[in-house]
Amino acid sequence: MDYDAHEADALADDALLPDELILRLEAQNKVRTALATLDERCRRLLTLLFYRPDPAPYAEIAATLGIPEGSIGPFRARCLRKLRRILDDLGF
């Protein structure tokens, strides 16, 4: 039987290989662990910004956290630096 490229593409499986899946799950676990060790305000901010399918508007985040809207960017940067240090300590 002679297959063309389109038929071969239809047979392609985009699923992760088992070792790729394990690596992804380990990375997700490290991020969850690091996030859990952050102080509550940083954890809440990063959750509002990155753990939703659609990030919350800054006005909503400011109201939720009780901070000025203009403070969110610098606050986010500090929280991400803290998260990065924790992830580095976890070997991520």
Long-range Cβ contact pairs of 35-43 (< 8 A, separation 24 or more): 35/83, 37/86, 38/79, 38/82, 38/83, 38/86, 41/65, 41/75, 41/79, 42/75, 42/78, 42/79, 42/82, 42/83
Residue 56 has pLDDT above 70, yes or no: yes
Annotated domain spans of the chain? 39-92
Residue-wise pLDDT for 22-34, tens only, equals 888 888 898 999 9
Q: Quick one: pLDDT at residue 75?
A: 97
Q: Quick one: pLDDT at residue 10?
A: 66
